[in-house]
Amino acid sequence: MASREREAGAARESGAGKPPRKGLLEKRRAIERGARMVFGREGYTRASIDAIAAEAGVSTRTIYNHFADKEELFRSVFLASAASVTEDSTDLFERHFRHFGKSADVETDLLALARDWVGQSSKHPEHFALVRQIITEGPRMPADVIEEWQRVGPRAVRAELAERLRGLADQGLFDIDDADAAARHLSLLIGGSTLESFFGAVRVRADEVERSVASGVWAFLKLYGPS
């Protein structure tokens, strides 16, 4: 007992690693923030560890203490960012789909969902800056990272959307045989303004966004509205 008490006292006197753990976490977060900024601005190929270190306010040695190389760093920040957007999209679906069927106007409910969903690009600008880089230099990026992004990002969101649409079809609110196809169509039909803005790079007027969303909802209802 006395021996354990002496060891505990010595640990308290020395700090026993508490500040380093906090410091390491803060350094890692700074590296990840810097990496998102640099990768989003420069792309994967042109981004350098030196530039990321400067953006993060750390040394290159500090980066290599946390990540083996640029590919591992890109993988970490991009997939974490994608998972965050997926989580937000899932929460968005939960908020909106619970109201479907409680009002007499499915179109109004669908418009409200579509407006919020299109707003995701402005809510997560750093993530969609990374997505823009995939469009321009996707073949030069690590293929397994892109595949994993598809799995935890766009495909996960569409799967969640399909499940929600399937439930509404069971209630008779939509005429849907293939929920996966319907989810893909809805995301494409209401996402026109997002594509036109190149995921937030080009400003699109609010009235143009509204027209694009409204026309997408109209087309979806023509395809899948109840008979």
Q: Please report, in tens digits, the pLDDT of each residue of the chain (227 residues total).
A: 444 444 444 434 434 444 446 678 899 999 999 999 999 999 999 999 999 999 999 999 999 999 999 999 999 999 999 999 999 999 999 999 998 877 668 999 999 999 999 888 788 888 888 888 887 887 888 889 999 999 999 999 999 999 999 999 999 999 999 999 999 999 999 887 676 655 666 677 888 888 889 999 999 999 999 87
- Is there a contact between 121 and 194 (Cβ–Cβ < 8 Å)? yes
Cα(199)–Cα(156) distance, integer angstroms: 19
Same domain, 103 and 119: yes
CA distance 48 to 69: 10
Residue tagged 């040695």 (tokens): 61
Q: Among candidates 6, 72, 86, 5, which has minimal Cα distance to 35?
A: 72
- For tokens 């790079």, name the residue: 201
CATH number at residue 168: 1.10.357.10
Q: For residue 108, what are the domain limits?
A: 71-227
Taken in order 66, 69, 75, 78, the sign of the CA dihedral is positive
Q: Is the separation of the CB atoms in 195 and 92 below 8 Å?
A: no
Tell me the whole-structure pTM to 2 decimals.
0.81
- Give the span between the Cα atoms of 151 and 140, in whole angstroms: 19
For residues 116 and 18, state if they share a domain. no
Q: What is d(CA 20, CA 122) in angstroms, rounded to the nearest whole number?
A: 36
How many folded domains does the chain comprise? 2
- Type of residue numbered 5: E
Assess whether 125 and 194 both reside in one domain: yes
Show which of 67, 96, 122 is a domain's final residue.
67
Residues 125 and 198 in one domain: yes
